[in-house]
A = this chain, B = another copy of it.
Amino acid sequence: MEIKAYVANMVEAARTASASIRRASSAQKDEVLDRMAQNILDARDHLKEENVKDLEAARKAGLSGAMLDRLELTDKRINGMAEAIRKVVALPDPVGRVIDGWVRPNGLKVDRVRVPLGVVCMIYESRPNVTADAASLCAKSGNAVILRGGKEAINSNMAIHRQFVAACEGSAIDPRTVQMVDTPDRAVVTELLRADGYIDVVIPRGGKGLIRTVVETSTISVIKHYEGVCHTYVDKTADIDMAVAICQNAKCQRPGVCNAMETLLVHQDIADEFFQKMLPVFQKEGVELRGCETCCRMAPGIKKATSEDWTTEYLDLILSVRVVRDLDEAVDHVNRFGSGHSEAIVTEDFRNAQRFLDEVDSATVFVNTSTRFDDGEQLGLGAEIGISTDKLHARGPMGLEELTTYKWRIIGDGQLRT
């Protein structure tokens, strides 16, 4: 009952804040977000202190290296959070943008205009910068948001959230525009997921288990951010040096994130030459390889992949490798075992590049570059609220515009339907 009241208060406050933030001007929203960015920089020491509490607890709890990496707030990441917020400030406000419009033969004037979704609920794990991204993107796009971060990051998240609240002081923006659940009690999540009529969309970010639970519990629309089992396919005609650099980047630059490569596919005709340059690089980077039969024959000493490896998101310095007969086999592999997230081809062949772009059914497809670019900021959306593996509403990186809906406006002069 206490939980019910806690959530009821929270969603009621969110609705109230939503009615106010949806009409706030861009200037008012930008001013508060700009202050939030400055507050984050000014509160650097406080943020790191709170983050250390989380890191110590996480180490004691035995979290993996990838998880600890996600959790840590370094100076660079604190700067990055503030920068990301300022990039959001600099972006045009999507609210009020006219999508399209026309006049009907009977003279009715029709248009569609972007309006905020209303109240967003974000449920996430680990990475504290999600708190800053979600707060700034939701507020800028005129939404209220309820944040429920991972319990392992609770001190870091609360510290970041305080910078938003402080930024609202003396402004027209309701500080309850961004609310943070301050208890790890899971019953709160269950209640939130049943608050339809109050919450317009739920965006979970985290492991498969979390997302499955959210989907099965929620009576509210969910935009899912499932795992990234991302592939790079090195085609027969690939520039080998480019392919080596791209694969190194996709696997090793930051292995703990969803757009890192998890499976490498190599055309059989280029495999030998490619492995000669690629394998020493992976060895130096400390990447554990798990190969198909052909791969293990070509490069003895590589561990054999099990069928489970092809569908595993390692989030670590582990990579499954398969030698394929041709592009068809590569596309089939990706569409069968992939998670529809990010896939790349390295090729010099125009037709194969086009076929890969057309036939791979994933949110983002790449030619001659690294899957690590699948990120709202990298692709030009400012910060991102996540990378959707759903097909509805938003697919791939979700930025400001994906946090709005639209409204139809019809202007008449007495027209009647016959």
Residues on A lying within 8 angstroms of B by beta carbon are: 102, 104, 108, 110, 115, 117-118, 200-201, 215-216, 219, 221-223, 239, 242, 245-246, 249, 253, 353, 357, 361-370, 372-374, 378-380, 390-393, 395-397, 405-418
Contacts and interface: CB of A to CB of B under 8 A. Distances in A.
A208 to B, nearest CB: 13
Given A370-B416, A378-B417, A408-B397, A391 B117 contact: yes
Nearest to A405: B391
B410 A110 contact: no
A366 B395 CA distance: 31
A392 B391 contact: no
A412 B369 contact: yes
B215 A219 contact: yes
Given A219-B216, A392-B221, A393-B392, A410 B362 contact: no
A299 to B, nearest CB: 24
Contacts of A102: 380
Contacts of A412: 366-370, 373
A414 B245 contact: yes
18 contacts: A104-B378, A108-B379, A117-B391, A216-B219, A223-B392, A246-B414, A249-B417, A357-B409, A361-B407, A363-B407, A364-B407, A364-B409, A369-B412, A369-B415, A372-B417, A373-B415, A392-B405, A395-B405
B201 A416 contact: no
A7 to B, nearest CB: 19
Nearest to A379: B110
A365 B110 contact: no
A365 B115 CA distance: 13
A417 B253 contact: yes
Contacts of A413: 368-369
A271 to B, nearest CB: 20
A245 B417 CA distance: 10
Contact of A414 (B253, B369, B397): B369
Nearest to A96: B358
Nearest to A353: B411
